[in-house]
Every structure is written in structure tokens, then in C-alpha cells.
């Protein structure tokens, strides 16, 4: 009887071991057939989870784990990318730009530091102090009480001032991309030029001395409001330097006057002969603009009231 009992126990052991081996083999076959992968999922809030999956793409893995993206979210790699075992899926904001600093190529070579620096354009800032001229202004005092024949007397010569301006300047690849004023400090105040318009002591057309020629004669002698302009866009709205008559504006020669004076008319303005070559929207009536070489000269000229005569 004991022998039979022992034989039964042995048979039972063999059956149990066989069943265990069959189950283990079945699980191994299922794992191989399903090609299970170990994948890490990193959520936008930083939480990490590990998933065992047999899915092929990122979107399938997320769907399998009941993860739904918001409209402003994306994955790295993208949803259609195939996923490999040991790979991570990162969920982040769409505005996030992945920056790859260095990588190992298929041959095993690493990206050099020089190559990284060539592709990286840092922005540098510098504090720069510059000295800037403050143009003086011209103040005109009229003491003629409406008299037609006047002369100008300089009571005080003008002198430009000076200020120090501190800038914060940003550079990228040695190119200035932004310039911001931090502070300004006046070093020297400008001294205004003061001109007094007064009556002539002797009023006669022969007393007017005209430059460049002794054979010119004048007619009339009306006081005009004389201002100045230069070829910049602030004065002209353009910077071509061309006049309305088609000539090139020249300091000491060109003036802008109303259509009362034809192009080419010679005008004696305060003892200097100019030529009418230009027009202007604000030049009308008893107003004339003389042409000067720079905006600072135009500002320094200011407003003057001078006798104007037509030269024949």
C-alpha cells in the first residue's frame, strides 16, 4: 500500500510541475507575440508614469492609458511617431521649443563645442555714454513798429550746449539691435542767439550793398519773414535734395518762395543774393525759406525779418 501511495504522490508532483511549465511558457509566448515595451510617460506637471504596452505609436500608447491632450498641448516625439522600448513620451505646451545641445551621430562622433557656439547667438548689453550737442535757439526782437526798411543787429551770439546721454545698447553677433536711453545730464547749457530787428538809419535803395556784383539793381524792398530749411525729411518730407524746379538745392543760393516769384528770380535777402528754385506748402504771402546745409543750421537760423528785393 505504501508503494502505491508513494507512486500516486510522485505522479501528482509531475502533473503539477508540468502545469506550471505550461503556464510559464504560455506567458512568455504571449509577451513575445505582443512585443511588449517599457515606456515612460512624463505629464506636463512633471508627474512620471511607466507603462507596459504593445502599441506601436505615441498616440496609441496615450489612448491605451486614457490620456487626452488639451488643444494647447503636444508630445515629444509627436503623436504619429513610433515608440521604442525604454523611450520617453513627454507632454508639454505647444509653445515649448526643444533645444538639442549635442547628440551622438550614428558613427559615434559628438557635436563639437565650436559647432554649438556657431549656432548660438548670445545677446550682450553695454552701457555707453555719448556726448550730444544741444543746438542753440535764435530769438528775434522786433523794434521797428511796422517800419518797412529794417536791419538786423546781433545782440548776443549763440552757442551750442552739450549733454551726456547714457544708453543701454543690446548687441547680437556684434550688431546693435536695441538702444535705450537710461539718463541725460546737461554739461553745458546752450546760449541763445539774440537778434534785434530795427529801423535803418538811412532808407534808400542805393544804400543797399549787394554781394558778388556791382552792376545789380533792386526794386521794392519789402520786409519778409525769412526761415530756413535743410534737405532732411523733417524739413522737406523727403531727402532727395531736389527742388521743385528740378535743380539740386544748394546752400547760399536756393530759396523757396511763393508762386509770386517765378523760378530763376534773383532775390536780395538782407544783402545776399539768392535764386528762387523751390516751393513749399507753408511758403506763401510774405514768407521765404532759405536753404541751408544741415538741420542744426536751420534751427540756429530761427525766424528773421529781412528786407527782400528783386534783383534785375
Each residue's pLDDT tens digit, 215-264: 334 445 788 889 998 888 777 777 677 888 889 889 999 999 988 889 99
pLDDT digits (tens, 9 = 90+) for 151-203: 888 878 889 999 999 999 988 878 888 889 999 998 998 988 888 887 765 53
Q: For the chain, what is the mean pLDDT?
A: 78
In the chain, which residues fall in CATH 3.10.20? 37-93
- Higher per-residue pLDDT: 25 or 246: 246
In the chain, which residues fall in CATH 2.20.230.10? 123-196
% of the chain beyond a pLDDT of 70: 75
* Assigned CATH topology for domain 204-311: Barwin-like endoglucanases (2.40.40)
Q: Is the pLDDT of residue 84 over 70?
A: yes
Q: What is the C-alpha to C-alpha distance for residues 11 and 6, in angstroms, rounded to an integer?
A: 9
- Higher per-residue pLDDT: 108 or 186: 186
Q: What is the C-alpha to C-alpha distance for residues 219 and 210, in angstroms, rounded to an integer?
A: 13
The predicted pLDDT at position 10 comes to 67
- What pTM value is reported for the model? 0.32
Domain 123-196 has CATH 2.130.10.10: no
Amino acid at each position: 500500500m505504501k508503494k502505491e501511495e508513494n507512486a500516486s504522490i510522485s505522479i501528482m508532483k509531475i502533473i503539477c510541475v508540468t502545469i506550471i511549465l505550461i503556464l510559464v511558457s504560455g506567458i512568455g509566448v504571449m509577451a513575445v507575440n505582443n512585443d511588449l515595451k517599457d515606456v515612460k510617460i512624463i505629464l506636463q506637471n512633471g508627474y512620471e508614469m511607466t507603462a507596459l504596452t504593445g502599441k506601436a505609436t505615441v498616440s496609441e500608447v496615450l489612448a491605451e492609458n486614457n490620456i487626452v491632450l488639451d488643444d494647447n498641448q503636444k508630445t515629444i516625439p509627436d503623436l504619429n511617431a513610433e515608440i521604442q522600448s525604454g523611450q520617453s513620451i513627454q507632454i508639454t505646451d505647444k509653445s515649448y521649443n526643444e533645444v538639442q545641445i549635442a547628440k551622438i551621430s550614428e558613427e559615434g562622433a559628438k557635436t563639437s563645442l565650436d559647432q554649438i557656439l556657431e549656432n548660438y547667438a548670445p545677446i550682450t548689453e553695454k552701457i555707453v555714454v555719448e556726448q550730444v550737442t544741444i543746438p542753440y535757439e535764435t530769438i528775434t526782437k522786433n523794434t521797428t513798429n511796422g517800419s518797412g526798411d529794417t536791419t538786423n543787429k546781433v545782440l548776443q551770439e549763440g552757442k551750442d550746449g552739450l549733454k551726456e546721454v547714457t544708453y543701454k545698447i543690446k548687441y547680437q553677433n556684434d550688431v546693435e539691435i536695441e538702444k535705450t536711453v537710461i539718463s541725460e545730464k546737461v554739461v553745458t547749457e546752450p546760449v541763445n542767439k539774440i537778434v534785434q530787428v530795427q529801423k535803418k538809419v538811412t532808407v534808400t535803395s542805393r544804400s543797399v550793398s549787394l554781394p558778388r556784383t556791382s552792376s545789380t539793381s533792386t526794386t521794392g524792398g519789402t520786409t519778409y519773414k525769412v526761415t530756413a530749411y535743410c534737405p532732411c525729411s523733417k524739413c522737406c518730407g523727403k531727402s532727395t535734395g531736389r527742388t521743385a524746379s528740378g535743380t539740386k538745392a544748394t546752400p547760399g543760393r536756393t530759396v523757396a518762395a511763393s508762386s509770386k516769384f517765378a523760378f530763376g528770380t534773383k532775390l536780395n535777402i538782407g544783402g545776399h543774393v539768392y535764386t528762387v528754385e523751390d516751393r513749399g506748402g507753408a511758403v506763401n504771402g510774405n514768407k521765404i525759406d532759405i536753404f541751408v546745409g544741415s538741420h542744426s543750421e536751420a534751427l540756429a537760423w530761427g525766424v528773421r525779418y529781412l528786407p527782400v528785393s528783386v534783383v534785375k
